[in-house]
Chain A
């Protein structure tokens, strides 16, 4: 579940060496929009999904336009704070329009748990990693097999040269932000039935997904997905065998450990220095 959100960090990082620090809030936005269209308005689910993803693409493009581009062009790291600010604004707007209570998001996959032996799980919980792997595969294909994907990679590699080759850099960065927000939207729709929909749901998801992205390596999509699964397992086992109170200590302790041993993540590339 964290891997899916963390992929969003990877996509914009791979293109622009920037990222939306409020990726978790984009997840929240996805869940809130989907709830509004699907539950409150009662529209059919496929339509609600399309609207949600379209809305999120716009959200991502907007984040890039107002919080990243002004700073990206000047090579200023202020995008970091600006994206956090946009996330906080999004959360407060959601509180005003959606309300403050957590709401239930119905899903046919949450009706009955399936039992394997004595332990059970909801089908929805299985859907999350499956979709996560699928999307990772698609992202990989996109970057390595399509010409637009290669263009995006080129932008990350060397913006000046890519610009000279006729690639529209601002548009490429904006596209990567839209794509990243769409992934967050998918995550929001998938997680809504499990976590319930609430304006404050984004913060902790975003933070843990960021930890996962750091552990897996910001430049490596497979690394992130593997780290996402691993992080989830570590959390569950810590909670199960040690104590719930140790869970966050172990999880974020792991981040520091990885940063010390492998500063670019388990499967991340060492950044090549330009001379």
Chain B
């Protein structure tokens, strides 16, 4: 009798421990993590990503959530652009908060440091900003790292094609920040210009917070550059333009998207006129249905008055589409199990009419970047506003 009751209680306990959490879980929200810089010089990027995620989450929750009625819930952690902090946060989000997937921020260095963690903890990661080529091409199998954002390699192909085919220029002068991001682009630009038989006439670098870029520009000028390819963030990009005006050097300038992350127009005033740079998306110009919806939400929730006022627009756009793709993967796999969600992401069925484009099987085992240079747009500063450039 006693033995029976012991066995019975064990059976009951086991049954409860299996069924209990499952019952509770089915009503529990599905947590989505964000590891991004929401303080410091790049705070605007983190805020923009947060907005994109929140708008998409509210939209999905209003329609009943995922996995047959579970709401999505956003958990935000500030990695301060610090790789070590990023690794700690990655573990905390997965082990303590039990998130189903994590979105990433602006810093390539942080994203790279986190790559092995996602593999180890079997948690899908969706990059929403950092463009470092090796983040998605990380030689891990299975690869848990996905991205709805730019990839430096495609960016450099896009920029070099724009210089050659649209500007009809053949003597690029490269001006890069002295960081891993600058290096990654030096490699890419050298490769893609080289493909067309063009070699940069000069490669110059600068450090963060440098006040004067005249020496670098002078060297590019005397080397005979007929256009500048810039890889910089907003504060340094602004100093480049000031120094360029000081030299009275009126030459075409095309830029990676870093200069869109801060208050570039305010810092440069009239000097920003005509500076052309790349985006994955722009809220200026004609909008599709999703674009109108996101703009409406930005206005209602965050007080954004007009398209030109959207801070760091690519962050919001990438995060918005990325979240919808993750939600579809959750539904398709029917679970929050990391490895199953990952498999679903690689084999997404149907099509998602997104903000940036219509996604049809955006990811495959070989391709973890949903966006390529086919999807990028060129924009230009005109009167302190970002205006799309019509290619060709």
Contacts and interface: CB of A to CB of B under 8 A. Distances in A.
A201 interface: yes
Contacts of B263: 101-104
Contact of B211 (A103, A110, A119, A195): A195
B267 A118 contact: no
B248 A101 contact: no
B370 interface: no
A57 to B, nearest CB: 27
Interface in A41-78: none
Interface string A182-220: 000000000000111010110010000000000000000
Given A240-B218, A245-B178, A120 B205 contact: no
Interface string B211-248: 11011101100000000000000110010001001111
Given A113-B246, A244-B216, A100 B235 contact: no
A236 B39 CA distance: 33
B281 to A, nearest CB: 22
Contacts of A109: none
B207 to A, nearest CB: 7
B44 interface: yes
B41 A196 contact: no
B235 A244 contact: no
Contacts of A245: 178, 205, 207
Interface in A5-33: none
A102 B41 contact: yes
B204 interface: yes
B210 A244 contact: yes
B176 to A, nearest CB: 11
Interface residues of B, number: 33
A244 B204 contact: yes
B40 interface: yes
A92 to B, nearest CB: 10
B31 to A, nearest CB: 27
A118 B43 contact: no
Contacts of A110: 242
A121 B242 CA distance: 10
A244 B215 contact: yes
B269 interface: yes
Contact of A236 (B206, B215, B248, B267): B215
A239 interface: yes
Contacts of B269: 104, 106
Interface residues of A, number: 27
A100 to B, nearest CB: 5
Interface in A74-132: 95, 100-104, 106, 110, 113, 115, 118-122
Interface string B94-129: 000000000000000000000000000000000000
A113 B267 contact: no
Interface in B137-165: none
B251 interface: no
Contacts of B211: 194-195
B207 A102 contact: no
A198 B207 CA distance: 16
A119 B217 CA distance: 12
Contact of A104 (B204, B206, B214, B266): B266
Contact of A120 (B216, B246, B262): B246
B390 interface: no
B215 A115 contact: no
A139 B205 CA distance: 39
A121 B218 contact: no
Given A113-B245, A198-B235, A244 B41 contact: no
A102 B267 contact: yes
A101 B41 contact: yes
Interface of A: 95, 100-104, 106, 110, 113, 115, 118-122, 194-196, 198, 200-201, 204, 236, 239-240, 244-245
22 contacts: A95-B39, A102-B41, A102-B235, A102-B263, A103-B263, A103-B266, A104-B263, A104-B267, A104-B268, A118-B247, A118-B248, A119-B246, A120-B248, A122-B242, A194-B211, A204-B209, A240-B214, A240-B219, A244-B178, A244-B210, A244-B215, A245-B205
Per CB-CB distance, the 7 closest pairs between chain A and chain B, nearest first, are: A240-B215, A239-B215, A120-B246, A113-B246, A102-B235, A104-B267, A104-B266
